[in-house]
Amino acid sequence: MLAYKVVMVGDFGVGKTSLVKRYVENSFSEEYLSTIGVSISKKSLENATIMLWDIEGQTEFKPVSKQYLLGSKGFIVVADIHRQNTIDSIKTHIELCHSIVKDAPICIAFNKNDLPNNLAANTVDELYKISDQIINISFTSAKEDVGVNDIFTALNSFVTNSLGH
């Protein structure tokens, strides 16, 4: 059975850990427990097993540790839909991912879509222009379980197809 690595990337507090918890355990917590280092979860699908690497969020003072990105078959870049600075960081995260794994597919999740936001109408179109490797941009809510399965399913289809499975 094919097993491959996917890394969750994004600023601190955007909901990386919550998306993984929702996807793998179908649970959610309001409590904020910051991820230290890396936590790896396994999700078994019909045609593959995804090893989901949930890494510590980037902050002004602490960059993402590049070695965590090595060998990843895909990335999920997460932003918090009501914090513009986390959306502005998406481009930097993509560049970082591609500096380590050239050509890996990328899914972008605008998380916390259950909260009010005033996202500019052209944001999604503009993001697709950043890289040909962006295969999916979705609006998600880890809290209300909206769109979460879809991002992982899109990434899994792409990765398994490209690996010939």
Say how far apart CA 54 and CA 60 lie, in whole Å. 19
* Residue 141 binds: one of ligand GDP, Mg ion, none (C-beta under 5 to 8 A by kind): ligand GDP
The contact set with Mg ion (CB under 5 A) reads 16-17, 35
Q: Which two tokens stand for residue 55?
A: 């890494």
The contact set with ligand GDP (CB under 6 A) reads 10, 12-18, 29-30, 32, 35, 57, 111-112, 114-115, 141-143
Q: Which two tokens stand for residue 88?
A: 């502005």
Q: Which two tokens stand for residue 1?
A: 């059975």
Residue at 61: amino acid letter: F
Q: Which two tokens stand for residue 32?
A: 């904020």
Q: Which two tokens stand for residue 109?
A: 């999740």
Q: Which two tokens stand for residue 20?
A: 């993984």
* Residue 98 binds: one of Mg ion, ligand GDP, none (C-beta under 5 to 8 A by kind): none
CB of 2 to ligand GDP, least distance (A): 26
* Residue 32 binds: one of ligand GDP, Mg ion, none (C-beta under 5 to 8 A by kind): ligand GDP
Whichever of 16 and 22 has its CB closer to Mg ion, that residue is 16
* Residue 103 binds: one of Mg ion, ligand GDP, none (C-beta under 5 to 8 A by kind): none
CB of 57 to Mg ion, least distance (A): 6
| 1 Cβ neighbours under 8 A, 6+ residues apart | 48, 49
